[in-house]
Amino acid sequence: MHFYKVSLMIMMMLLTVDAAAGGIDVRDVTLWENENSYLVDADIDYFPTDTVIEALKNGIPLTFEVTVKVRESDSWLGWFERALTKRKIRFQLRYRPLSSLYEISSDDNQYQRNFVSWKSLFANLGELRQIAIADTGELDVNKKYHVEIKAELDINSLPLPMRPMAYIDSDWDMSSGWSKWPLHQ
């Protein structure tokens, strides 16, 4: 009987640790075509760890990067083949203590918004809309293609003194891994 209680306690502890772990999940992707390009809409769920949230609240800017690649589906080289198109979208997140607002801005400063909570900041970060990934003339209509998407926290953009710890601490390991979606022409 004692063995079962200990086993149950260990399982509960492991589940608690796993629930506290952060991550990123590419949940839904829609690919569509307008007059001259292929576009992607994506819904990405961000689950920041307490360490990441604490750093943001203490004024450390965080950069998240979404990489979108278009590859030929029937290629015999697979992952080794160069992507036909590759697009990186970078967002910087900051906390502004004087205004008590969280800010998200794109790398090219074309997009900037403020939020009252870090939860609404991460919810907005997960909504990508009308991202051009390829011109219609770039893809052969007789071939099949797929889109690969990956979202991650860019540890290299952290302040230099924080990087060594961020590389070895799993609390900073926020990446979705690659997800694959068919591109219908």
User: pLDDT (tens digit, 9 = 90+) per residue, 35-93?
Assistant: 889 999 999 999 999 999 999 999 999 999 999 999 888 766 655 677 889 999 999 99
Q: Is residue 62 part of a domain?
A: yes
Q: Is residue 14 part of a domain?
A: no
Domain tally, the chain: 1
**Do residues 128 and 106 lie in contact, with contact meaning Cβ atoms separated by under 8 Å?**
no
* Of the candidates 148, 154, 113, 112, the residue with the CA atom closest to the CA atom of residue 40: 148
Q: Is residue 16 part of a domain?
A: no
Domain extent, residue 39, equals 26-183
**Do residues 143 and 72 lie in contact, with contact meaning Cβ atoms separated by under 8 Å?**
yes
**Do residues 171 and 51 lie in contact, with contact meaning Cβ atoms separated by under 8 Å?**
yes
- Full-model pTM: 0.82
Task: Give dist(CA 116, CA 96) in Å, integer.
Answer: 10
